[in-house]
Amino acid sequence: MTRYVVNRVALGLVVLVGLAFATFLIIHLVPGDPVRQALGAQASPQQIEEVRDQLGLNDPLPTQFWDYLSNSATGQFGDSFVQSSAVSDLVGDRIAPSALLIAYGLLVALLIGVPLAIVAALKPNSVIDHSARLVATLSFATPLFWLGLVLALVFGLELDIFPVSGYETGIDGILKTLTLPALALGLALTVFVLRILRSSLLEVLQSDYIDAARARGLSEGRIVAKHAMRNAVMPTVTIMAIQVGFLISGAVVLEQVFQIPGVGSLLVESVERRDYEVVQTLVLLAGATVVFVNLAADVLQAAIDPRVRLAGR
């Protein structure tokens, strides 16, 4: 088990260094200079060069990358030149709304997806089964910003249950302001929970040990809850872990639509201004989250199912 975890962690680190390299290269190679953007049309070439020198932007790219990598490894993310603040402060101020939105969106997907999947698996090819999958697939296929706007229009403007945009803290505030974006995020994600859980449940429900449980006269509810779900839930956990990337990118879009001051909207603003330090840090952070969640899902699987951790031997 230890060896398995060590292997997975090492692999995760390689992925992160690769990601850091790719992000660094992309943001430095796309046209657009942060100094020029900040100083504007009238700044003289000398002024621009001076500032670029101060910021180390005239150093060779490998040197800049090495500085960035070694600083990031020790948790120093530098200062945003554009915003004249430490990157850690900028990100720290805005991480909570995004994390809450993602967690809330995941919860919504599970709350809607799991019961529907069970019903669909118990009555395959019924009207409920087909309509649930149709609606879930359509929600996934709908562009998130549009889904968000429609929810804001219906539940905010027409029904006046929630505010159409904004963000407030505290349990009340979060429930008030994050419910609509989380619903949009959750609805888009439901299709994964629904389809994967449904098909694994269907498979499990047809296996011999379920027949045996049925023969012992256990109720259908007990069979699903105690026997089938245990085995069926694993693929769902894996798929959900993979979808963390989708959740993060979804949060970026929804933060714009709902005016949530999270890291997603910070990322968009920073890309527009070529704020290198902030962009690099945020992409690395998002990457680290995806790597960590996948790692956790793998370890969890390995812990539950010995076949996984022994497969490599």
Nearest-approach distance from CB 111 to another protein, in angstroms? 21
C-beta neighbour count of 240 within 10 angstroms: 23
Nearest-approach distance from CB 273 to another protein, in angstroms? 7
Q: Is the dihedral of CA 160, 162, 165, 167 positive or negative?
A: positive
Nearest-approach distance from CB 126 to another protein, in angstroms? 9
By beta-carbon proximity to another protein, the closer residue of 61 and 73 is: 61
**Cα 257 to Cα 93, 95, 165, 172, distances in angstroms:** 20, 17, 8, 21
By beta-carbon proximity to another protein, the closer residue of 92 and 306 is: 92
CB 255 within 8 A of CB 262: yes
- 201's CB contacts (< 8 A; 6+ apart) are 117, 118, 121, 224, 228, 229, 232
Nearest-approach distance from CB 261 to another protein, in angstroms? 4
Give the integer Cα–Cα distance in Å for 51 and 182. 42
Nearest-approach distance from CB 98 to another protein, in angstroms? 11
Nearest-approach distance from CB 160 to another protein, in angstroms? 8
Residues, the chain: 313
Burial class of 251 by CB neighbour count within 10 A (0 to 12, 13 to 18, 19+): buried
Cα torsion through 187, 190, 192, 194, rounded to 10: -150
Question: Measured over all CA atoms, what is the biggest interatomic distance in the chain, rounded to whole angstroms?
Answer: 85
Nearest-approach distance from CB 161 to another protein, in angstroms? 11
Nearest-approach distance from CB 147 to another protein, in angstroms? 10
**Footprint of another protein (CB under 8 A):** 30-33, 36-44, 47, 82-84, 90, 93-94, 127, 130-131, 134-135, 138, 146, 149-150, 152-154, 156-158, 160, 163-167, 256-262, 265-266, 269, 272-274
By beta-carbon proximity to another protein, the closer residue of 7 and 85 is: 85
